């Protein structure tokens, strides 16, 4: 069974309510019907109900059994606006501004998740990553014990000798442009948690990547990864984590035997932590485009799951992301 099928199976076992703020967007409407048909979640579409209905009719899609809510007219809007004002008043949000903000489906959806009226949120078919992330960071905030929100890419590689039966978790490839050593340590711990809870990897083995292996090069960029490794050991002493390691030393047992003898992780890592967003983002695209891996992105570290889509996403991408969000919410 592929990784995404495994995740879908898990989602069906404990069905969660996932809000889709871009509720009138054609791919989102089609995805909602598919999500309900496959029993992956209870989708909630936000937007004008007439516009949602018209889009469904245009596509010949059956929305029977799917909840919708209109942020412009919803009975819940005053309560969400009051709660939003309380949460953000110290940041300069006035009651009037809060009232306007909850009319925006992105903020309305985030307030549904915050207040427990939905278990998770998926957006980004229309919104940019920043526009989707900002309200989630401002309102949902991080999980206790985790200081920052970051992302993991689940890479399902054709070469099953790699990682965990071909599955590798890459972080961070979306959120933190230039993490400090401490932030890198939090990214590593969150990625190990994603590997365990979402991918079912019982023993995450985390490699802190660099262009150096165990002091082979000296540079401030290498020092940052060494410091991050030390921080991560302090934060999670039981986690199998090692650094700094080059990509080949992390994945290949022969290279590991030469360059990082005795490492509990080198040569068999299944979670790879990139030193910054440039490396992470380029790394996942190389693995996808040249390595032929299928890739699935999730945000990690948020107190409740919210996930971003690429604006070029397909209906299938939305369905898959909703399934992953539902499992994160379990
Ligand atoms: C994440 C991101 C959207 C933050 O945007 P920003 O405009 O810089 O936001 P701010 O710095 O004003 O922060 C907004 C709030 O989020 C919080 N925040 C920002 N980044 C955070 C993080 N990684 N984890 C937790 N909280 C974070 C801030 O503390 C702030 O909270 P506050 O308003 O309660 O004080 C920005 O870092 C970003 O655009 N990252 C790259 C995303 C991207 O384009 N990726 C492309 C790859 S696909």
pLDDT, tens digit, 9 for 90 and up, residues 102-142: 999 999 999 999 999 999 999 999 999 888 899 999 999 99
* Residue 253, strand partner residues: none
Same-domain check for residues 276 and 321: no
Query: Which residue's CA lies nearest to atom 30 of ligand 1?
Result: 138
pLDDT in tens, 165-203: 999 999 999 999 999 999 999 999 999 999 999 999 999
For residue 88 the two structure tokens come to: 């953000």
Contact 68, 49 (CB under 8 A): yes
Same domain, 59 and 126: yes
Q: How many angstroms does the Cα of residue 85 sit away from the middle of ligand 1?
A: 20
Do residue 168 and residue 224 come from a single domain? yes
Alpha-carbon distances, residue 1 vs 8, 315, 324 (angstroms): 11, 21, 16
- Shared-domain flag, residues 265 and 197: yes
Domains contained in the chain, number: 2
Q: In testing the pocket of ligand 1, which one of 107, 134, 146, 313 has its CB within 8 Å of the most ligand atoms? A: 134
Atom of ligand 1 nearest to the CA of 310: 48
| Gap from CA of 131 to ligand 1 centroid (Å) | 10
Do 218 and 321 have their domain in common? no
Name the residue at shortest CA distance from atom 16 of ligand 1.
137
Residues having CB closer than 6 A to ligand 1 are: 91, 129-130, 133-134, 137-138, 142, 148-149, 174-177, 281
**The pair of three-digit structure tokens given for residue 121, joined into one six-digit string:** 């949120």
Domain match, 83 and 166 both? no
pTM for this one? Answer: 0.92
Same domain, 167 and 97: no
CA–centroid distance, 289 to ligand 1, in Å, is 28
- In the block, tokens 């379990």 appear at 330
Phi and psi dihedrals of 270, rounded to 5?
Answer: -120, -5
Q: What is the CATH number of the domain that holds 173?
A: 3.40.50.10750
Residues whose CB is less than 8 angstroms from the CB of residue 250 and which lie 6 or more positions away in sequence, other chains included: 207, 209, 256, 265, 266, 267, 269, 272
Of 173, 154, 176, 151, residue with least CA distance to 165: 154
CA 180 remoteness from chain centre: 20
Residues 127 and 14 in one domain: yes
CATH no. for residue 29? 3.40.50.10950
Q: Are residues 116 and 179 in the same domain?
A: no
Question: Looking at the chain, how many residues does it have?
Answer: 330
Q: Which structure tokens are listed for 216?
A: 């082979």
Domain hosting 79: range is 3-141+304-329
Task: Give the atom of ligand 1 at the shortest distance from the alpha carbon of 134.
Answer: 3
Q: Are residues 211 and 309 in the same domain?
A: no
Q: Where are the beta strands (DSSP E) in 117-266?
A: 120-123, 150-156, 167-171, 205-209, 240-245
Q: What does the pLDDT profile of the chain (330 residues) look like in tens digits?
A: 888 999 999 999 999 999 999 999 999 999 999 999 999 999 999 999 999 999 999 999 999 999 999 999 999 999 999 999 999 999 999 999 999 999 999 999 999 999 999 999 999 999 998 888 999 999 999 998 889 999 999 999 999 999 999 999 999 999 999 999 999 999 999 999 999 999 999 999 999 999 999 999 999 999 999 999 999 999 999 999 999 999 999 999 999 999 999 999 999 999 999 999 999 999 999 999 999 999 999 999 999 999 999 898 999 999 999 999 999 999
Residues 233 and 323 both lie in one domain: no
Same domain, 184 and 286: yes
């Amino acid at each position: 069974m592929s990784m995404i099928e495994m995740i879908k199976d898990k989602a069906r076992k404990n069905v969660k309510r996932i809000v889709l703020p871009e509720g009138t967007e054609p791919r989102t409407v089609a995805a909602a019907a598919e999500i309900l048909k496959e029993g992956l979640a209870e989708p909630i579409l936000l937007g004008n109900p007439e516009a949602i209905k018209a889009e469904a009719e245009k596509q010949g899609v059956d929305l029977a059994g799917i909840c919708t809510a209109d942020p412009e007219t919803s009975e819940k809007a005053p309560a969400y606006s009051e709660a939003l004002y309380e949460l953000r008043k110290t940041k300069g949000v006035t009651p009037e501004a809060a009232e306007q903000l909850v009319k925006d489906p992105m903020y309305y959806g985030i307030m549904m998740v915050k207040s427990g009226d939905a278990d998770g949120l998926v957006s980004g078919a229309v919104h940019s990553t920043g526009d989707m992330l900002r309200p989630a960071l401002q309102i949902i905030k991080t999980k206790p014990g985790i200081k920052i929100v970051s992302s993991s890419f689940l890479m399902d590689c054709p070469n099953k000798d790699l990682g965990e039966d071909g599955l590798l978790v890459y972080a961070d490839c979306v959120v933190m442009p230039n993490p400090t050593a401490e932030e890198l340590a939090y990214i590593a711990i969150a990625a190990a948690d994603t590997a365990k809870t979402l991918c079912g990897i019982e023993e995450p083995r985390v490699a802190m990547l660099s262009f150096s292996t165990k002091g082979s090069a000296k540079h401030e960029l290498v020092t940052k990864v060494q410091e991050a490794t030390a921080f991560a050991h302090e934060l999670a002493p039981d986690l199998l984590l090692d650094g700094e390691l080059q990509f080949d030393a992390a994945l290949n047992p022969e290279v590991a035997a030469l360059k990082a003898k005795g490492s509990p992780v080198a040569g068999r890592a299944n979670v790879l932590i990139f030193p910054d967003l440039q490396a992470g983002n380029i790394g996942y695209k190389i693995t996808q485009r040249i390595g032929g891996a299928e890739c699935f992105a999730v945000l990690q570290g948020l107190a409740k799951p919210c996930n971003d889509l690429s604006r070029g996403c397909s209906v299938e991408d939305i369905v898959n992301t909703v399934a992953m969000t539902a499992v994160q919410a379990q």
